[in-house]
Structure 1
Amino acid sequence: MFTDVFKLEMLACKIEWKLYNLEIHREFLSSGKYFSSKQFYNTKCPSVVWELRIYPNMLHEYRQQRGRFGGALTNFTTTDISLIQTGLKDYHDKLKAKFNIYALNVDGGRVDICSEKFDFQHGTQTPKYQIDMTMACLLEGFISLVCEVEFVPYNVNVELADEHLLTVNTLQKSIKNMFKQETFSDCTIEARH
């Protein structure tokens, strides 16, 4: 007798990202420039890595139609967000994922920004979705964004992440960033083998 079982698990990961002083960044940051969130992933499949990008000052132009000769060119700015796949280093790896991006308002309620399914591979970025800043901004001067991603890792190498290795890598990255930003300017670091 032969038996066979085929089971793939739906994997999920989530990030909550708080951004302070977004209005200041909207005023001074050039159009098209963005901030990136920390990378996030499911520990059962650490090769599938996600990142949010927020564009505080996206300049849009459109021409209002008036008669035969066109109309005036109008400019306006928005705050946009997108999701990017930064993992999947093998160019053959492709992945369909369902994602929800939303903000939390003053009452802790959910302000939906987008909910879609999208095909990803390394470097694939979703379209930019506009954030309704009148609904999403909190009184304390920050915006809280949440992204939930679900996927089934067909044809992607599924492996458990080594939690100790992840902790060491995260600590090394943190120390390296502090050194680059010169926040360790008044202390000495001693390394031994």
Structure 2
Amino acid sequence: MVRMSAEERRISVVHAAMSEFAQGGYKGTSTEAIARRVGVSQPYLFRLFPNKQAMFIAAAEYCLAATREVFSKAAQGVPAEEKLEAMAAAYQQLIRDDPDKLLMQMQTYAAVAAAEAGGDHEFGATLRDGWQQMWDSVHLDLGAEVEETTTFFAYGMLVNTLVSLGFPPGHRNWEGFYQSARPE
């Protein structure tokens, strides 16, 4: 049996945490469930991460970085006028292939909003920074005006909402989207 390094184990915990938090949210996910998914003890989790919040932040940062990478790869080598559709199509592929990333995004927004409402402004700061990096990266990749980047993210949030709510392909709420942004 090959033993994982601490860094490999940490990465496996981040992936497991993302899946667990995506399904159960911050409050509804136990560190026990994460440990069970990875196949380690809870005390071992806390050698890798100081607390549940740190696990959540690491999972959310991973999710945001992975989404940012999908957008960047989709824009590479594509003519300027085709970047928007290429990035939209790549995002649709991401949420089809790995729906936990979409759910983790939505859980991140909910967890930050709840923390802010409870007076914990530090929790959201790191995650806002990660989201800002994604916005900046997309803005640069698109080579767009601010309004175009804002429109791209506005459509993206609508996609997130419609997919999260389970609106099927062909539903009238999808009619105003570019063809590449409609689910198949």
TM-score (norm 2): 0.27
Which structure has the larger Rg over C-alpha atoms?
A: 1
TM-score (norm 1): 0.26
